[in-house]
Structure 1
Amino acid sequence: MRKLTFGMNVSLDGYIATPGDDLGWSVPSDELFQWWSDRVAATGLALYGRKLWETMSSYWPTADQQPGAAPAQVEFARRWLEMPKAVFSSTISAVDWNARLVTGDAVAEITRLKAEDGGPMDIGGATLAAAAMRAGLIDEYVLATAPVLVGGGTPFFTALDNWVNLTLVETRTFADGVVLTRYETRH
């Protein structure tokens, strides 16, 4: 059975984006960027909601060709292109860059994918992750908490019907004050 992880940069007050989807506060340090890049390299399948897919696919396919692209950005772009992806959306009609489109029941498809053999899966996008969270499908949560209060926006966590008990498995503090925490779900 595959492991499913939900991980994102998050503000101290719990948001992954501000109103209007401003992500400027969450630009990672070089050290954190490398941590995320290594995570992409180890991901067997990434599950994206439409909005996060549109953000990622509008930049990373050509990021390595941008003037002044840092070696770490070139490496991330290569890793991102190589990583298999499933994009969950009922409003877009096609995806590219080693991705396939899923238009049906997201929870049923994630359940099916988890039952397959293969490498670990990461899930991204607030709406998609919320559906998986409510269905009890997430095995691990990774929060890269930035020392900033944004006051509102898209929350990392959704409203739940039941408690989810977690076990802390890792903490790490980055030089810019970002604190990474990893929690596993206790089933």
Structure 2
Amino acid sequence: MRKLIYGMNVTIDGYIAATGDDIGWSAPSDELFQWWLERELASGLSLYGRKVWEGMSAYWPTGDQQPDATAAQIEFARNWRDTPKVVFSSTIDKVDWNTRLVTGDAIAEITRLRAEDGDPMSIAGATLAAAVMRAGLIDEYQVVTHPVLVGGGTPFFTALDSWVNLDPVERRTFPGGVLLTRYETRR
């Protein structure tokens, strides 16, 4: 069975984007970007909701060609293009860059993918992750907390029908007071 990991940058008050989809507060240090790169290199499949897909596909297909791209950004862009991706959306009709589109039941498809053998899968996008979280499919949470309060926006966590018990497995501090906390779901 594949492991399903949900991880994103989060504000202290629990948002992945401020009102208006503003993520300007989440610019990573070089050290944090390297951690995200290592996470992406370890993932065998990326699962995206529409909004995250649109943001990622607007930049990363040519991110390695930017004049100020670092070595880590170049490697991230190349890996992003090569890694298989699945986008879950009923509002778009085309995807590129080693990606397939699923317009039907996301939970059924993610359950099927999770049952396969293979490298871990990562999931990004609050709406998609919320449905998957409620279905009890997430095996690990990677919460990268930035020391900022934004007062509203898109939450990282969703309302749940029952508690989810977690075991802490890692805590690490990055420059600027950014804190990574990893939790595994207790099954």
Deviation at 1:69, TM superposition (A): 1.6
Calculate percent identity across the aligned residue pairs.
Answer: 74
- Paired residue for 1:159? 159
* Mapped partners of 2:151, 2:184: distance in 1: 27
The residue type equivalent to 1:181 in the other structure is T
Deviation at 1:6, TM superposition (A): 0.3
Count how many residue pairs are aligned between Structure 1 and Structure 2. 187
- Paired residue for 2:171? 171
Deviates more, 1:75-84 or 1:53-62: 75-84
**TM-score under structure 1 length normalisation:** 0.99
**TM-score under structure 2 length normalisation:** 0.99
Deviation at 1:3, TM superposition (A): 0.4
* Mapped partners of 2:120, 2:13: distance in 1: 28
* Mapped partners of 2:69, 2:123: distance in 1: 26
Deviation at 1:72, TM superposition (A): 1.6
Instruction: Identify unmatched segments of 5+ residues in structure 2.
Output: none
Structure having the higher helix fraction is 2
- Paired residue for 2:55? 55
- Paired residue for 1:66? 66
The residue type equivalent to 2:16 in the other structure is I
Deviation at 1:63, TM superposition (A): 1.0
Q: Does 1:110 align with 2:118?
A: no
Q: Return structure 1 stretches of 4+ with deviation > 2 angstroms.
A: none
DSSP 3-state at the match of 1:119: coil
The residue type equivalent to 1:20 in the other structure is G
After TM superposition, the structure 1 = structure 2 runs for residues 38-187 of structure 1, keeping only pairs within 5 Å, are: 38-187=38-187
